[in-house]
Chains A and B, each alone.
Chain A
């Protein structure tokens, strides 16, 4: 399986997702530096978490204008699969591949903790190997993860089945939505269901030794969907 991981100078979850992808697929992903416009023809583009260019400006705004992301945009328009995690999700929104905005957490603080995610809309291609209604415990770690969109966009997301993951009850926090996201949204897909963005970090839950393996379950299903 050919996975391309786009890296920026401030990416800091690139090694984690590369390790996870190699563990699951048995193949080392290709690393594409942001200055490089040649991303090849991958089965999946992964945009990792981090602080792409420091994020002193709007998160992901500078990264979205890099040569590599121009090519990712083209790749998505051709119907290619793309997944962005955390800062990667922010970048995909800034690139225009996903609707809405990710604004500062409701509590105005960085939040790092486990969340329980519910899986939705498994009819979408990228979600097709996950089980609808499944609950996965995956951590978030972000300062700007509150999903925000106008009512019309939110209705469209619901109507088109674009809501991929929502925060749900069952964890140790009474306030199960960690950032105040609209409709408890943790992740969404594009209308064609081939571009996925989510705030939580599945690459951090690859085995019981590091707090659980629900992340591995999620990534295994997504990689499988991209291969078929």
Chain B
């Protein structure tokens, strides 16, 4: 077979991020030297982003099955049964590098991409979440990147009309040159109406749907698989441009198409565009595909086969239709004014054959392209264990002063400035959104609900990857449980540095192992996910962020509780702690970060059996109506948790707290020991008795009050309104140009 394109070389391969060894494998796979288009296709499919070549060995260790799982990893999104014939379809995905280069468009297309992954499966998206990491508050780019990313997330989600209901944001200097933008989408579908991507039926038409193909985002997947250098700005042309209105048309048209019974298989064109969609659809079906690139709708003249195959233009889908359904499909797409073209057919050859201008532009056997992708067992060294912090080594700060400083720090201050730019209410089924533990979304037209959250504490992961990986799962589990919902399953987004460095690979191995262990013990399998490596700038890696997105179910949303105290004279009970505790784990805590040198210590250990037992007790108490408000204890420890429960009332209710005698007061107040919750209840004695029966340590720490203050048995007192003002002031002040230094 002759090709008009020149044969490629090792140099060409290196420019596309392929090693000499990988180039040799490609030549072996196709039995000759590839041309430009073929090499482009291999480099995209074998990029870290698409092939998971560095992480696959470890991803395989994650638990992926469970009673609720309908579809685990390997499709566009994971699918779990949430009861009554409904399925939750969800996934998280990163758009880190594009968002650093062009924050608005990078973040917007991150949202657009993850929404396509969900509606491709036949599910209507009903909730968006995110996990964001920005640089130090006083870094010159932080305001610009934060403002741009938040506007981009809102710009896409608000326009397409899917509520952004939750998320988390950290600021840390390790993200100065490499921010993290992870977007999660959750959709709803009838459990028996899920669509998959495997093509079937040789001779069936392959249909291109949606926006035209342009020169934007060419080789984005490869960019996402390399370290940054200081010429990041020159990579701006590799960032895709979002069009949420086109995304909305594509979503409505796709859902209408799937409801019409004309679709055999469907796949969105995300990373690596037409390449990954055509390859995956054909390969999963064990078939081949012939595509005539002259039939692809293009935005500009003179696009080469390489550009068409590697473009990451947004808002496009590829579908295999039933042969007699093309006219019905055309009518639906015309209603939505979308481009529609039959660009090829499914074949039995097992090969991807691309034609352009009368020539064969590429002819690749699919099996080696997909199955022979490299898989590396990269060398890894464990992160050295850190010593446990001795509480005596931490500064003793007056607890009211400490609370003021912590609540007003970049760790804990209100994110309202961010979340008020997201439409959290559209679709009119949002029961709880940002500002609490998990968000709650009602299943339209029913009393059923889904609880959703994203979590990760990178400073724990940096200190002890395995423990940090477990903690991300445990915290998500607690956030879901604190609403009363049953945790079901996980999607994960593994954000790390360069895996070719053994210490970074050690972080990956540790975190994935820890995450897997916790997911197994808490019965929350991983059903989808994304890996983002090479998050480094000039050789400096980010703090590792294995983000967990978790979904839970609650059969009646009226049973759910929030974090806000609802009345005075409620008993405040700490669950997961015995009354004789007079200290707490300050290593890696917010308190230690703000008041000491102690971040270098070990993070709080996670005991999954305790998490499971305590979580199950909390859910049981909530569902049976014994709890008025609940909040899990995480960043900032016990006192911050109580303060947040009072602040959520707008200052209407306060609390009277009994402090322990002796011991380390700062440790007791601000330690970040895991597995704990604060519950507010009308009948503390009954709840404590139930806890005793369940073998769950718990004790009363105080009562709620109507005086709008936090009062301590020591005589200290602090106004809740003052804490609210401090908490609400920080981010607006930063974004207005006040360069905070915390």
Stretch at the interface among A39-47, A107-115, A124-132, A186-194: A107-115
Listed in ascending order, the chain B residues whose CB lies under 8 Å from chain A are 151, 154-155, 158-161, 243-246, 248-249, 252, 336-337, 419-431, 442, 444-445, 557-558, 650
| A206 and B426 contact, Cβ closer than 8 Å, known pairs A109-B421, A113-B420 | no
Contact between chains at A51 and B159 (CB < 8 Å):
yes
Partner of B442, one of A9, A13, A172, A210: A210
Q: Which A residues are CB-close (under 8 A) to B431?
A: 209-211
B244 touches A15 (CB 8 A): no
Q: Check if A9 sits within 8 Å of B430, measured CB to CB.
A: no
Contacts of A220 in B (CB 8 A): none
A16 neighbours in B (Cβ, 8 Å): 426-428
A211 contact set on B, CB distance < 8 A: 425, 430-431
* Contact call A112/B248, Cβ cutoff below 8 A: no
Tell me if B161 and A50 are in contact (CB < 8 A). Answer: yes
Do A54 and B244 touch across chains, with their CB atoms under 8 A apart? yes
Do A141 and B244 have beta carbons less than 8 Å apart? Answer: no
Flag if A111 contacts B420 (CB, 8 Å): yes
Known: A50-B161, A111-B421. 18 other contacts (CB 8 A): A9-B336, A10-B249, A12-B159, A12-B248, A16-B428, A19-B428, A51-B159, A51-B245, A54-B244, A54-B245, A110-B155, A110-B158, A112-B419, A112-B423, A112-B425, A143-B158, A209-B557, A211-B431
A interface residue count range (under 10 / 10 to 19 / 20 to 34 / 35 or more):
20 to 34
- Which 5 interchain pairs have the tightest Cβ spacing? A12-B161, A54-B245, A16-B428, A141-B423, A51-B159
Contact B159 A54 (CB under 8 A): yes
Q: Chain A contacts of B428 at CB under 8 A?
A: 13, 15-16, 19-20, 203-204, 206, 210
Per the 8 Å Cβ criterion, residues 1-50 of A in contact with B are 9-10, 12-13, 15-16, 19-20, 49-50
Question: Beyond A10-B159, A210-B430, A210-B431, is A141–B425 a contact (Cβ under 8 Å)?
Answer: yes
Can you report 6 residue pairs joining A to B where beta carbons are below 8 Å apart?
A9-B245, A9-B337, A51-B244, A54-B243, A109-B421, A172-B650
Q: In the complex the two chains form, is A10's CB within 8 Å of B158's CB?
A: no
Cα A204 to Cα B430 in complex, Å, equals 9
- Complex interface residues of chain A between 167 and 206 (CB less than 8 A to chain B): 172, 201, 203-204, 206
Could you tell me the distance in whole angstroms from the C-beta of A105 to the nearest C-beta in chain B?
10
Min CB distance, B251 to chain A, in Å?
10
B151 touches A12 (CB 8 A): no
By beta carbon, the residue of chain A nearest B558 is: A209
Q: Are A110 and B421 in contact (CB under 8 A)?
A: yes
Bound complex: CA A55 to CA B427 (Å): 19
Residues of A in contact with B (beta carbons under 8 Å apart): 9-10, 12-13, 15-16, 19-20, 49-51, 53-56, 109-113, 139, 141, 143, 172, 201, 203-204, 206, 209-211
Q: Is the CB of A12 within 8 A of B245?
A: no
A145 shortest CB reach to chain B, Å? 12
| Neighbouring A residues of B424 by C-beta, 8 Å | 112, 141
Q: Are A139 and B161 in contact (CB under 8 A)?
A: no
Closest to B421 in A: A110
What residues of chain B lie closer than 8 Å to A49, measured between beta carbons?
A: 426
Question: Which A residues touch B442, using CB under 8 A?
Answer: 209-210
Residue of A nearest to B246 (CB): A54
Q: Name B160's closest neighbour in chain A (CB-CB).
A: A12
Residue of A whose beta carbon sits closest to that of B440: A209
Nearest residue, chain A, Cβ from B560? A209
Within the complex, the shortest CB–CB distance from B24 to chain A, in Å, comes to 48
Assess whether B154 is in contact with A12, with CB atoms less than 8 Å apart. no
A19, closest chain B residue (CB): B428
Q: Bound state CA distance, A205 and B308, in angstroms?
A: 47
Q: For the complex, give the distance between the alpha carbons of A111 and B158 in Å.
A: 10
Contact flag A112-B422 (CB < 8 Å), given A51-B159, A54-B159: yes
Residues of chain B contacted by A13 (CB below 8 angstroms): 161, 426, 428
Q: How far is the CA of A15 from the CA of B158 in the complex (A)?
A: 15
* A83 nearest CB across to chain B (Å): 17
CA distance A111 to B249 in the complex (A): 24
Distance between Cα atoms of A13 and B557 in the complex (Å)? 22
Would B650 and A9 count as touching, CB distance under 8 A? no
Indicate if the CB atoms of B252 and A9 lie closer than 8 Å: yes
Would you call B423 and A110 a contact (CB within 8 A)?
yes
Chain A residues near B336 (CB-CB < 8 A): 9
Q: How far is the CA of A143 from the CA of B150 in the complex (A)?
A: 14
Partner pick for A51 among B248, B422, B445, CB 8 A cutoff: B248
- In the complex, which residues of chain A have a beta carbon less than 8 angstroms from the beta carbon of B245? 9-10, 51, 53-56
Question: Residues of A contacting B444 with CB < 8 Å?
Answer: 15, 19
Q: In the complex the two chains form, what is the Cα distance from A110 to B557 in whole Å?
A: 29
Least Cβ–Cβ distance between A75 and chain B, in angstroms: 24
* Alpha-carbon separation in the docked complex, A54 to B650 (Å): 36
Q: CA separation between A163 and B253, bound complex, in Å?
A: 39
Residues of B within 8 A of A55 (CB): 159, 245
Contact between A141 and B158 (Cβ–Cβ < 8 Å)?
A: yes
Which of A53, A54, A141, A209 is B426 in contact with, Cβ under 8 Å? Answer: A141
CB distance from B538 to the nearest CB of A (A): 33
- CB contacts (< 8 Å) of A201 on chain B: these are 425
Please, how many angstroms separate the alpha-carbon atoms of A51 and B245 in the complex? 8
A55 to B158, CA, bound (A): 12
Give CA–CA (A19, B422) in the complex, Å: 23
Q: Which of A12, A19, A112, A206 contacts B420 (CB 8 A)?
A: A112
